[in-house]
Structure 1
Amino acid sequence: DVREALGIDHVYQNGDTGRLLMVESIGGGGGWLDYDGDQRWDIYLGQGGDPVRSGMPDQPSDRLVRQLPDGRFEDVTAAAGIVETRYGQGVAVGDFDDDGFDDVYVTNVGRNTLWRNQGDGTFLDVTMAAGVGDERWSSSAAWGDLDGDGDLDLYVANYCDFDVHNPRDCSKDGKPHICHPLDVPPVPDECYMNQGDGTFTAEATTRGLRGEGGRALGVVIADLDNDGDSDVYVANDMTANFLFVNDGKGQFRESGILLGCAVDRNGAPQASMGVACGDYDGNGFLDLYCTHFQFDYNTLYQNLGPSGMRDITGLVGLVAPTMPLLAFGTVMHDFDRNGRQELFVVNGHVERTQVRGTTVFEMEPQLFAYDGKRFHDCSKMAGDYFREKRLGRAVASCDFDDDGDLDLLVVNQNAQVALLRNDSAGQHGIAFRFRGRTSNRRGVGTRVTSGVDGRRRMQEWCGGTSYAAPHQPDLIFGLGEITSNVRAMVRWPSGREQTLEGLAVDRRHVLEEPD
């Protein structure tokens, strides 16, 4: 953890009112962006405060920290014009107006906020003008081109109908407790379609993107059926997860149960929080990993293509090590660049609870390595941070030090954020960044298949994933001992394809969408 050495000082305050308000349990967010276009990665950090005083001037604001040329970070919140004192939950980054500068959408308990990057180092609150001010309790959000028109649309994951000023009494034996999700009415998600003129229209219902009874926490926008368009997967708390399949024209059909990724292997819904997306088994289809509540396992859905998905968690050794913990943010990536995916998970309970006479609250994070058949817990070998207990929530990945491997930002409740620098060594890799022309400027939804040494590895720049946190928009492939002769097949969101031969290893390639 190099947070302190690099000058980052931020604690997400959940309020900790002592009343155990439900909204205090699931925040906060944070993630990566290059807000000033200097090719160095900056961080937007969400904030909570007292939920009852959300939006008041005496409440702490979200923060923006800028990376300096020497790798340190400085607080530029005031200079950037950001004053966001609403009770924050998550962050989503996307260039919605296609001007080349990252914009920020913040989910809150109450009105969400869209910060438009003005390109001069400052942001402007355009929420109401854009028409994206959802007033409900929103947890996460994701950007993606859902109708194939070349600009980014916005999916907002909403949770429950909970009034902090008149909270539901969920006390037990005269003591306050966090409300169980099923005791609080759900609120539907929303999908805002980009009109290309700086405004959006709410079209969840007309697009077929309104599932029944969901309490959404995590969301992924990705091509999960390999048909060339973006689908939407929603991780719901205590109810079946949604998979909205795109028909290629921007209309969707909910097919989670049919395709095997809505419930666990026993047919039971789980308390889904975060979700990671990647092709762990190398079969060319994106798999999903969902994090869950304590005493229930995190679920790995293997994507079998036309046959749908299956809960393969037990077969790959991931049931037992995740049962004792309560998980939120998660990332699937090849952190050591050996050519296989790992799983990173942060954990932390929503309230103090007794387990066999021991108080359980803060929890250690976990790292699982894949050997080609099973995952193994390698947390003890991953660094001191994995031996410390915290209330982990959001996780966002980024190669912030530009050394070729992915580092991690972790947002904890009521404790300092962590910036986990990846010091893995001895392996090679290759990275890709995208510049869309017909497609959206950042290339969200672009898929790269890397061919080397007779093996194929596929990644897609997905919208959303993890929990309440956006990643750096690069794809990084681990190559192991391979040092040359890399081939890449690129499929842009527009459907345009290109093949690149003989790519140099251990460098980042900036790809332009062909005409």
Structure 2
Amino acid sequence: MKQAFGLFFTLTLIVSGCSKKKEIPVEKAAIYFNPVSADSSGIDFINQLYHLDDLNIIEYLYYYNGGGVAIGDINNDGLEDLYFTANQTSDKLYLNLGNLKFKDITKEAGILTDSTWSTGVTMEDINNDGLLDIYVCKVGNYKTLKAHNLLYINKGNNTFVESSSEYGLDFSGFSTQASFFDYDNDGDMDVYLMNHAVHTPRGYGNISRRQLKDSLSGDRLYENKWDEGLVKFSDVTQASGIYSSVLGYGLALATSDVNNDGFMDVYVGNDFHENDYLYLNQGNKTFKESSADYLNHTSRFTMGVEIADINNDKTLDIFTLDMMPFDHEIFLKSGGEDSDKVSQIKKNFGFQTQYSRNTLQLNHNNRSFSDVALMTNTYATDWSWSVLINDYDNDGLNDVYITNGIYKRPNDLNYINYLSNIDFSKYDRTKQDEIERKLIETMPTINISNIIFRNKGNLEFEKLTNQAGLEPSYSNGAAYSDLDNDGDVDLVVNNINQKALLLENKSHSNKRHNYISFTLKGDEKFKNPNGAKAYLYADGHEYFKELTVTRGFQSSSSHKLHFGLGNSEKVDSLKIVWLDGSTQTENGLEVNKHQSIVKKPKGTISISPVAVNNSLLERFPFFHTENNYQDYDRETLIPEKLSTEGPASIQADFNGDELEDIFIGGAKYQSPSLYFKQSNGTYKKDEKSDFIKDIIYEDVDVATFDYENDGDLDLYVMSGGNDAVENDQKLEDRIYLNNGKGHFKRLISNLIKTNGGSVSSQDFDGDGFDDFFIGNRSIPGGYGLSPYSFILKNNKKGEYNIVLKKRLGMITDSKWVDINNDKLLDLVVVGDWMPITILINNGDATFTDHTLNYGLENTYGMWNVVKILDIDGNGQKDIIAGNAGLNLKWKASKERPVKLFLDDFDKNGQLDPIIFYDFFGNYVPFASKDKLAEQLPSLKKKFLNYSKFSKINGIEDLTGMKEENVLEVKKITELRSMIYLNVGINTKEIPLPQEAQTSSVEDIYVEQKNNKTTIYYVGNFLDYTNELGQSSSNSGGFLTINKNLKWESIKKLPLPENLNARKIIKIDEKRFLVIANNDQSFSIESIKE
């Protein structure tokens, strides 16, 4: 037996609970669903599960995955009908009689009632006769389960004939779902069959096993030979490049033209450690698995997937579901993310980055995707199965419906601990069965509300739950359709041990919004319209939908296209792009009506090519190689690495030829480099400077200055890193003297030795000699402690006097600027866990903190960069500051800040940095119970189980120490990248647009011309702890704001999405050098505004 128990030791799934909200009355709800009773609808289907000794959650890890729903018009009467799959009882087929009345025609239709284990179901016209057929997936050849997949061919009189063997689709194995689509554009429906492994994921395995075919759990691709006159499907899995191995735990499936090249692609969502697969159709009957090229990360336990346009930009986005809870108690007593060590091991094995949460992958013009689920607060929805995207309130914006719940929860950490103490080898089979029954009874049972995210536009969503139609349930497969043809989209849901849900959409009854819907019909060769794209134009708005039906989880939805129109009362035109590449335009369409569009025999052929990023002109001849140091081994509780700050870089004319050269600092064990710009725009490396001697240093920042006042530029290179101790020689800053020709020698001196953050040089006292601000980032090994930072005054004798020594914060950037227009250079400083800080020059080599005077006292952030300039033309200096962004698990505000508590809580002589953050309304510790107990072993006794730990709601609950007694408390109140306008006695806030908040902003370059300010930025930070996750959703962009403070242009830079960028430098009129970190080369990018 007990192989299955490995599941409980390797699962670190995320679970959720229900949050209590008031029921919204129909007259006030923007989206409202009314549950239709079984007595009224005639739908009495229940997917009833019975626990058996030889088949249960312990013997079959997908025992509670439930059944699916298929919707389609089987008799062409204009009403779409329903098919439900069951696991231990009979599937059922219901005929739609109109007015949400249904008739069970299962037996008379010829549907088998043998109660074998059904999973996914889809309706599609497989044999091109104009009638929808039904394909049902089964689990067979596993323990007591004996079955093969079924194909019901529609005979046209509400009866079906099971024909899977005749068509070559009688696969017997561990099937989850099938999707029919035309993969070779020959006019018939081929099929991707997704299967799942059943072995427990004890180890990660070797990815080379992906090439080995497994007869039971490996996926399949079957080509329809109908166009060759054959009633048969042929297995083309291996020839097409599809993986068919035992590594796949396929639970989510969608087929769609993801990159808009005219060929249908495939997305497979895998459970556990195996990557999700994004198969891009190459147009020659082969696919290329491209998930690593297009997706920075995926869900870890992907269970449902939907592909649709979520933000009305006419590209297809990808929404995947996982199991992260939103109830804080369930969250704290459930498994979380992989540890940083385990995550690295998986990467070493060849697996991609995964997180235990939902992802909402935005499509960037078919070049790449970026996940914005954290920013949109759609990342945590519980143990979620099906995701369906459609416009449920007809306002013109696509909303999201998600089903939730699992009947028994095997990932509760108390349960897992209990289970781990049982030695099954001591008992015979009878006793083992008895223990299994008790274990199943012990598993927590919590039903959870299904969820709707109402789209408010601009990537903002309103979460709806626990209202009518969203009551707690154990819901799995779901599908949508306008079942009563009243102009809004209804929902059908398959539940475990509860009657199926029929949810009537009452949104249209308010008559607030208009709609239009279509049935597409093909021509003689391309009879099936699957894969057609529809572009609708109305009142200046553009809408886009693609006709596919397999979506969500184990289900297939309506064969109609539905568009909400909001207040638009007319449609300008509809453009259809058929799968053969032909297009046709329809005009004069009536709103608030369903219409049929028939493919015209002739049309314009217009196949869109794949958008390719051709912006890379050349690679800059430097590759930054970060040393392999794991900060988290030394400091268990820190949220970010501090050992990957570089590379330092600066642009200046070092050799006096009036061309801007570039100095680039190295990582530890990599020497700095200087590149001289040539007249033809290329760069040549300096071979004469003695940088090679200094490879033991990590270069984190650099400033130019004139040490000798001899008219050339010298270098101050700041050292850093987190793998030493304060005052270690390896942390010493360095000065390099220029010989006037751009060749440098190090000046031996006794400089500051700590983990540096920012160095900036200016003559702040006007005596003709350059002075310094030395802003330090951290005390190595003491995360959260603010090191001393210094202002150094040049005494004109080659020495520097300290005029300010202060613990300002964890400094990341600084700028000298006359911010108050008194002709004295002041200092603006930013960093982690600190506000944007203003130090005003008093004119006597002293400085006063005026942060409060400028209204910046609540700007505590994770700031990376600051720029100072006059944006609104009022003669005052304004501030642009790059922050961590909104696409984080942490949420911060003045009222609900992220908090960092620093104290020696267990009195062992070591400071403990403990972070709390607001998790859906409750303060929870950022670190898990196990990680906290590793740092503070006394917590093991205080919290003997996870249930007690889950009640924590603050630092006092955790440590017993009141917040006001903690040695030091730091906070974050602002995570947005911002503009702060200087309006005299205060500042005015302008957040950068949402598009710039999807990732951290690491550096900024600003240009001003024609009364406009253009902000170029680069971003991402890939070195947060795995619990927080990489910030990797926006490598860069540029924004234009006019003097009226209106954003005129918001665009992305044509950069790969996985950059770990640190610097952007303009090297000529149309080119930028983007400096990337961590084993990444530098690139020169062409910019088209």
- If the length of structure 2 is used for normalisation, what is the TM-score? 0.43
Corresponding residue number in structure 2 for 1:56: none
Structure with greater helix percent: 2
Q: Aligned partners of 1:350, 1:134: CA distance in 2, in Å?
A: 29
The residue type paired with residue 385 of structure 1 is: G
Q: Tell me the residue number matched to 2:385.
A: 328
Change (3 A) 1:308 1:514: same
CA contact (8 A) 2:385 2:553 kept: yes
Picking from 358, 378, 381, the partner of 1:298 is 358
Q: Is 1:362 aligned with 2:447? A: yes
1:479 is aligned with what amino acid? L
In structure 1, distance between residues paired with 2:383 and 2:97: 36
User: Residue 378 of structure 1: CA displacement?
Assistant: 3.4
Q: What residue number does 1:168 align with?
A: none
The match for 1:176 is none
CA deviation string 1:58-103 (max 9, x = no partner): xx32111111145411111111111142210110111000111110
Matched residue SS, 1:22: coil
Quick one: which of 96, 112, 116 aligns to 1:67? Answer: 96
**Aligned runs of 1:145-156 on 2, under 5 Å?**
145-156=182-193
Which of 237, 262, 265 is 1:231 aligned to?
Answer: 265
1:203 match: 236
**What residue number does 2:23 align with?**
none
Partner of 1:167: none
Partner residue in 1 for 2:169: 132
**Contact residue 537 and residue 571 of structure 2 kept, 8 A:** no
Query: Following TM superposition, by how much is the alpha carbon of 1:463 offset from its aligned partner in structure 2, in angstroms?
Result: 4.3
Summarize deviations over 1:130-155 as a string: whole Å, max 9, x none: 11111111111111101101011111
Q: Does 1:117 find its partner at 2:167?
A: no
2:537 corresponds to which letter in structure 1? G
CA contact (8 A) 1:316 1:373 kept: no
Q: Deviations over 1:451-498 (max 9, x none)?
A: 112121110012421111111101101100111133111001111100
C-alpha contact (below 8 Å) 2:408/2:444 kept by paired residues = no
2-structure distance, mates of 1:211, 1:242: 11
Do the aligned partners of residues 250 and 315 (structure 1) sit closer, same or farther apart at CA in structure 2, a change above 3 Å counting? same
Change (3 A) 1:3 1:181: farther
2:70: which partner in 1?
Answer: 31
Which letter maps to 1:457? Y
Give the structure 2 partner of residue 314 of structure 1: 374
What SS does the aligned partner of 1:121 have? coil
Compared CA separation, residues 297 and 229, structure 1 to 2 (3 A): same
Tell me the amino acid that sits aligned with residue 411 of structure 1: N
Deviation digits for residues 170-219 of structure 1 (CA, Å, limit 9, x no counterpart): xxxxxxxxx56869999221111111032101111111122652211111
2:277 equivalent among 242, 245, 248 = 242
Q: Distance in 2 between matches of 1:223 and 1:457?
A: 16
1:429 counterpart = 2:512? no
Question: Does 289-298 or 183-192 show the bigger shift?
Answer: 183-192
Q: Letter of the aligned partner of 1:310 in structure 2?
A: S
Aligned to 2:123: 93
Offset at residue 13 of structure 1 (A): 2.3
CA distance in 1, matches of 2:225, 2:202: 35
For 2:599 and 2:358, the matched residues in 1 are separated by 37
CA-CA distance at 1:252 after TM superposition: 0.8
* 2:473 is the counterpart of 1:390: yes
Cα separation, partners in 2 of 1:30 and 1:252, compared to 1, 3 Å: same
Task: Output the CA distance in 1 between the equivalents of 2:539 and 2:414.
Answer: 51
Pair 1:402 & 2:431 matched: no
In the alignment, which residue of structure 2 is the partner of 1:165? Answer: none
Name which of structure 1's ranges 292-301 and 130-139 shifts more when overlaid on structure 2: 292-301
In structure 2, distance between residues paired with 1:31 and 1:368: 23
SS in 2 for 1:466: coil
Aligned mates of 2:578, 2:555 — CA distance in 1: 23
TM-score normalized by the length of structure 1 = 0.88
- Answering whether residue 574 of structure 2 is matched by residue 488 of structure 1, we say yes
Matched, 1:80 2:119: no
Shift of 1:439: 5.5
Other-structure match for 1:174: none
| Deviation at residue 273 of structure 1 after TM alignment | 0.6
135, 138, 161: which one pairs with 1:105? Answer: 135
Aligned pairs for 1:166-181 (under 5 A) are none
Alpha-carbon distance in 1 for matches of 2:408, 2:260: 40
Quote the Cα distance in structure 1 between the aligned partners of 2:407 and 2:306.
Answer: 21
Identity of aligned residues (%): 27
Check the 8 A contact 2:107/2:113 in 1, yes or no. no
CA distance in 2 between counterparts of 1:292 and 1:514 reads 42
1:65 alignment partner, SS class: strand
Alignment-derived partner of residue 282 in structure 1: 312
Structure 2: distance between partners of 1:70 and 1:220: 31
Q: Distance in 2 between matches of 1:498 and 1:462?
A: 19
Q: Aligned AA for 2:243?
A: R
Distance 1:279 1:70 in 2: 30
Label 1:180 to 1:414 Cα distance change in 2 as closer, same or farther (>3 A): farther
- Structure 1: distance between partners of 2:37 and 2:568: 32
CA distance in 2, matches of 1:103, 1:116: 5
Instruction: State the partner residue of 1:259.
Output: 294
| 2:196–2:250 CA contact under 8 A, matched in 1 | yes
Could you say what secondary structure the match of 1:349 adopts?
coil
Match of 2:497 in 1: 414
User: 2:457 aligned with 1:457, yes or no?
Assistant: no
Q: Which has the higher contact order (CA 8 A, sep 6+)?
A: 1
Q: After the TM superposition, which of the residue ranges 243-252 and 330-339 deviates more from structure 2?
A: 243-252
CA displacement 1:235-255 (0-9 Å, x = unmatched):
111221111111122211110
Q: Does 1:15 align with 2:19?
A: no
SS at match of 2:238: helix
Q: Secondary structure at the match of 2:457?
A: coil
CA gap of 1:31–1:463, structure 2 versus 1, over 3 A, is closer
Identify the range of structure 1 (270-279 vs 211-220) with the bigger mean alpha-carbon deviation.
211-220
* Counterpart AA for 1:72: K
Structure 1 contact 91–107 (Cα < 8 Å) conserved: yes
Work out the CA distance in 2 between the residues paired with 1:392 and 1:181.
Answer: 28
User: Could you tell me which residue of structure 1 aligns to residue 36 of structure 2?
Assistant: 2
Summarize the Cα distance change of 1:364–1:148 in structure 2 as closer, same or farther, 3 Å threshold.
Answer: same
Return the index of the structure with the highest Cα Rg. Answer: 2
State the AA in 2 paired with 1:216: G
- The residue type equivalent to 1:42 in the other structure is D
Which residue does the alignment assign to 2:560?
474
Q: 1:191 aligns with which of 208, 221, 236?
A: 221
3-state SS in 2 of match to 1:257: helix
Aligned equivalents of 2:260, 2:458: Cα separation in 1? 24
Q: Tell whether the 8 Å contact from 1:233 to 1:241 is kept in structure 2 after alignment.
A: yes
Aligned length: 479
